[in-house]
Homo-oligomer: A and B are copies of this chain.
Amino acid sequence: MVQQVDDTRRAPLNRDRVLRAAVALADEAGIDTLSMRNLAQELGVVPMALYKHVANKEQLLDGMVDVIVGEIEPPAGDADWRTAIRQRILSARRVLLRHPWASRVIESRSQPTLVVLDYLNSIVGMFRAGGFSVDLTHHVMHALGSRVWGFTQELFPTSPLPADPELQAVMFREMAGRYPHIAEIAVAAHDEGSVVGRGCDDQFEFEFALDLLLDGFEKRHQQGWTSTNQS
């Protein structure tokens, strides 16, 4: 039995097994726990054995992003540009929600991989297929920014509230005194009448901003906007 476990672990390593183990480790233990040393231990090999399949840690992270991109659904062929892009981005978002570390890793990449370029190229192509000019498509991709991956840079990560409800109330009263405007919109986050902000509906916020952007894209497209003829 122990022998069998050893055999499994000693199954020949390859790049794919390394990457999948890295994704699994990051999913389970968090990205901070993902070190070359920990990953090697997880795979039952010596740390240096990893360096035969990835040149260094940066390339490991690149490969992990590629695994994630592979999980994004291909575009629905029949829909108009707006719904097709919307669906694709929301699919990317579902993938990122399954892998909470992924947005941080994506942000940290300095060079896109071929797989990433494929994904971006296909999104760009969807705007072009929808009749967008090269010029407008360019600016629209910039405006989308990290939202093509399905994530927004939040102002600050939803700070976990203290468990003690009394302490919550104290914190909230302090907030309301010093930061009345923030307190106001924190309460507006939900309409169940609770006094304390319990965090927001991230999905709603994401779609609100995405649709607002798509509205603007559509309008400029219809108006024949170009970077040189704008008012």
What is the number of residues of chain A that contact chain B, defined by CB distance less than 8 Å? 57
Say yes or no for A212: interface residue by CB 8 A criterion.
yes
Contact flag A205-B153 (CB < 8 Å), given A121-B182, A212-B213: no
Pick the contact of A159: B111, B157, B159, B205 (CB < 8 A): B111
**What would 4 more interface pairs be, CB under 8 Å, given A112-B155, A120-B182?**
A141-B155, A148-B155, A191-B228, A212-B213
Say yes or no for A138: interface residue by CB 8 A criterion.
yes
Q: Give chain B residues whose Cβ lies under 8 Å from the Cβ of A209.
A: 139, 142-143, 145
Say yes or no for A131: interface residue by CB 8 A criterion.
no
List residues of A (186-231) whose CB comes within 8 Å of B's CBs.
187-189, 191, 200, 204-205, 208-209, 212-213, 215-217, 220, 227-228
0/1 interface trace, chain A 152-189, chain B, CB 8 Å (1 if under)? 11111101000000000000000000111110110111
Q: Give chain B residues whose Cβ lies under 8 Å from the Cβ of A46.
A: none
Complex contact A143–B208 (CB within 8 A): yes
Q: Give chain B residues whose Cβ lies under 8 Å from the Cβ of A118.
A: 179
Contact flag A135-B181 (CB < 8 Å), given A153-B146, A155-B141, A216-B216: no
